[in-house]
Structure 1
Amino acid sequence: MGAPQKLRAEVAAYKRRRILEEASHLFFQHGYGSTTLDMVAERLHVTKPFIYSYYRNKSELLFEICQSGIQLSLAALDEALGATVGPLERLKRMVDMVARLVIENQEYIVVYQREEKNLQPADARAIRVMRKEFDRRVAALLREGAEAGVFEIEDASLTAASIDGMITWLSVWYVPSGRLSVSEIVSHTIKLVLKMVAPSARN
């Protein structure tokens, strides 16, 4: 790709990202049903046709917002699991990275939780596949740790889904002005997860 084409691609990506950010903010504040593309355009100081040049409709915007969170989580999981350390340290890194990501992208995660019911069926299925992949890979890590004797779990898949739920729920109750900092919340979450999987003698 030549320099002009690369620049155009970067500009287009930036515009798409800005549309998503403003749409996410409005969905978060007012709900998907009460938000119109006119409202998104107004926040961006553009016309509605400008939005249509990047997204087909409001439904596509919702899908892009909803899948962004799980895509970021999978990327963080890849990085954590790729570390050349034992399963315990990889689990700690995964919780740390994904918990911070969930808090930093609070609006996107909350919009997905609230508005999943408004996704097109095919879009909802695609996101569920990604979420199942996340849980599957965490479960594999838990089984590895159990075989190494550092974890004690009865059901790896159920435990993975529970860890996923615990981390995802941070987006619902986290308040930037709350008494705990992001680092304190993440540290507490790591401790809770480690208690869930620790061998009985360590509980």
Structure 2
Amino acid sequence: MRDTVKKNLKEEVASYKRQRILEEACHLFFENGYERTTLDSVADCLDVTKPFIYSYYANKGEILFDICQTGIQLSLKALNDALALEGTALSRLKALVESVSRIVIEEQEYIVVYLREEKNLEPQKINDIRQLRNEFDHKLAELLAEGVTSGEFDVENTLLTAISIGGLISWTANWYNPSGKWSVTEVVMHAIQLVMSMVKIR
């Protein structure tokens, strides 16, 4: 029992340290770009040595990969949670758009870095990320197809519409300004209205 507690504590500490590296690196990638950010600058901001970072990540590309995964995995969780809800396809679609839109805004730096810097990943890593995105698109398309079958939606191409909805939501990260004219709630509600017009609610 004592050994298990020690192991769990070590895992929690390691997870926390990895998360701090991710957060600081993501902020620097967001502000300065991936190519102009060095591991030395990440280490300086964390007040640690570069070998400390290497004890958790082999290189800068691994950090970028984890950053790119973060937003998609959070969005996938929100999608799966919405799909698991009871209710109509319409109510679940609204819940999905609201949840994912809030994630995109709350995790803005992660989403922007993913959209802007994915091209810097190794080909296999790019493929891994796109598989996650494809999973999101196809599950959303299945929800749209369910709504078409139930007579709630009028959508000719469910997959293309799903991809368009995902793009609409994720692109919010590129223009949203926390100090700007619109509140988070206003942006989220507008996204819901746009998506509802895309699926032509009956």
Q: Give the TM-score, by structure 2 length.
A: 0.97
Question: How far off its partner does 1:88 sit?
Answer: 0.3
1:137 aligns with 139
Equivalent position to 1:151, from 145, 150, 153: 153
1:35 aligns with 37
For 1:42, the aligned partner's letter is: D
For 1:61 and 1:40, how far apart are their aligned partners in 2?
11
For 1:156 and 1:164, how far apart are their aligned partners in 2?
12
For 1:4 and 1:117, how far apart are their aligned partners in 2?
40
Equivalent position to 2:91, from 86, 89, 92: 89
For 1:193 and 1:113, how far apart are their aligned partners in 2?
21
For 1:101, the aligned partner's letter is: I
Question: How far off its partner does 1:159 sit?
Answer: 0.3
Alignment partner of 1:65 is 2:67? yes
For 1:126 and 1:162, how far apart are their aligned partners in 2?
21
Q: Give the TM-score, by structure 1 length.
A: 0.97
| Alignment: residue pair count | 200
Q: Once superposed, which parts of structure 1, at least 4 consecutive aligned residues long, lie more than 4 Å away?
A: none
SS in 2 for 1:184: helix
Question: How far off its partner does 1:117 sit?
Answer: 1.0
Question: How far off its partner does 1:46 sit?
Answer: 0.2
For 1:4 and 1:112, how far apart are their aligned partners in 2?
35
Unaligned runs of 5+ in 1: none
For 2:80 and 2:16, how far apart are their aligned partners in 1?
25
Q: Let me know the Cα RMSD of the aligned residues.
A: 0.9
- Identity, % of aligned positions: 58
For 2:200 and 2:95, how far apart are their aligned partners in 1?
16
